[in-house]
């Protein structure tokens, strides 16, 4: 539904706090965080300052019962304990109603998440995201740890949730594998071969083991 608001979707995220300790509603708190990050305020204290500087407008627009906004301490506690999958699901429901069609999919590591950096067990957290070229919105996101999963498997999980037909997807060439074929049946795919040279799946990889339906779909027939 294209009329659904982000705030309405955020209200579906379960609140992990006890009823006695809820000074601020979770959905409204998350909405204020989104506005802060969209304004370039990404750190805990920066988000807190953004909320304080815009306190009157936020209280009025969001209908907060308290005449205060959350502090950076509250913001940190919420982000550390929040159910990431539930939040991602809420964003997917909201973004899914925006008529998205052209998506760029890529994985990026998150800063300051490296552990065991001095040995072979080095690990870090990364996100694979599906970025819509038309609207500038992230429609899908998949979190993974480099030591446990690969970007390839994470992209397959992300694509399995994209059920819309008529999508144009762009991905790195490392995703051009026959085992990924089943996840690409409902979209036209462009892979970057390097030096800015795109190619369709059918052009860039032999599809002898794929079904005729898969070959026709991937070739854009």
Query: With contact defined as beta carbons under 8 Å apart, do 69 and 51 qualify?
Result: yes
From the centroid of its chain, how far is CA 17?
A: 24
pLDDT in tens, 95-139: 766 554 688 888 888 888 777 766 767 788 888 888 888 778 888
pLDDT in tens, 47-104: 999 999 999 999 998 999 888 999 999 999 999 999 988 998 888 787 766 554 688 8
For residue 205, give the nearest of 180, 168, 170 by alpha carbon.
180
- In whole angstroms, give the CA distance from residue 212 to residue 148: 34
- In whole angstroms, give the CA distance from residue 143 to residue 136: 20
What residues does 62 pair with on adjacent strands? none
- What predicted TM-score, i.e. pTM, was given to this entire model? 0.54
The token pair that represents 86 in the structure block: 């539930």
Query: With contact defined as beta carbons under 8 Å apart, do 91 and 31 qualify?
Result: no
- In whole angstroms, give the CA distance from residue 207 to residue 221: 15
């Amino acid at each position: 539904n294209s009329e659904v608001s982000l705030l309405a979707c955020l209200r579906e995220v379960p609140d992990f706090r006890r009823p006695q300790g809820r000074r601020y509603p979770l959905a409204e708190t998350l909405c204020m965080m989104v506005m802060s990050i969209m304004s370039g305020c990404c750190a805990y204290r920066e988000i807190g300052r953004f909320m304080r500087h815009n306190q009157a407008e936020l209280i009025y627009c969001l209908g907060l019962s308290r005449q205060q906004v959350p502090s950076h301490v509250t913001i940190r506690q919420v982000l550390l304990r929040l159910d990431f999958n539930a939040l991602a699901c809420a964003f997917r429901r909201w973004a899914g109603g925006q008529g998205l069609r052209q998506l760029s999919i890529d994985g990026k590591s998150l800063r300051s998440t490296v552990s065991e950096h001095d040995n072979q067990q080095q690990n870090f957290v990364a996100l694979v995201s599906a970025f819509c070229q038309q609207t500038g919105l992230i429609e899908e996101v998949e979190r993974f740890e480099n030591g446990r999963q690969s970007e390839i498997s994470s992209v397959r999980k992300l694509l399995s949730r994209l059920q819309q037909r008529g999508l144009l997807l762009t991905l790195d060439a490392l995703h051009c594998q026959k085992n990924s074929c089943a996840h690409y049946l409902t979209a036209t795919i462009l892979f970057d071969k390097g030096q800015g040279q795109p190619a369709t799946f059918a052009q860039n990889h032999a599809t002898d083991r794929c079904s005729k339906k898969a070959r026709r779909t991937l070739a854009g027939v």
